[in-house]
Structures are given as C-alpha cells and as structure tokens.
Amino acid sequence: MVLKNNLEKTLRDLETRIKELEQSNEWFRSQINYLEDRIRERDEETKAKQEAISNLEEKVIKQEVVANANQEIIIEMKGRI
C-alpha cells in the first residue's frame, strides 16, 4: 500500500513537472518567434539602408563625373586665355 501511494505521488509529481516543462517550452517558443520576427525586421531595415547607400553612391559618382567634366572645361578655357 505504501509503495502504491509513493508511486501515485511520484506519478503526480511527474505530471506536474511535465506541465511545467510544457509551459516553459511554450514560453521559449514564443521568445524564438519574437526573435525571428525581430531578425526579419532588421534584415528589411538593413536592405533598405543598403539600397539608400547604393543610391547615394550612384549620385556621388554622377557628381564626380560632372565635376571632372567641368574641371576639363575650366582647364581647356584657361588654355585658350
């Protein structure tokens, strides 16, 4: 009888522990989902920033081309003077 009572108590304790672990797993899963969402958001932000940087680099290159052309014109005009 004592053995049966001990086994029943052990079983109840194990069932309680299983429920606790399941709740803990749910919390960890929710944290993982949250972090995955944040990673996706950061990736999108990074892509947007990289695109903005690329656009600025293109503008700088175009301005350098214009500046070089203007410099050549200035040099040519100085040569004529």
* Gyration radius (Cα) of the chain, Å: 35
| pLDDT reading at 79 higher than 90 | no
Tell me how far CA of residue 75 lies from CA of 32, 61, 62, in angstroms.
63, 21, 20
Q: Would you state the pLDDT for residue 80? A: 83
> pLDDT, tens digit, for every residue of 1-13?
888 899 999 999 9
| pLDDT reading at 67 higher than 90 | yes
Q: Would you state the pLDDT for residue 46? A: 99
Backbone phi, psi, residue 30, to 5°: -65, -40
> pLDDT, tens digit, for every residue of 17-44?
999 999 999 999 999 999 999 999 999 9
Q: Would you state the pLDDT for residue 78? A: 86
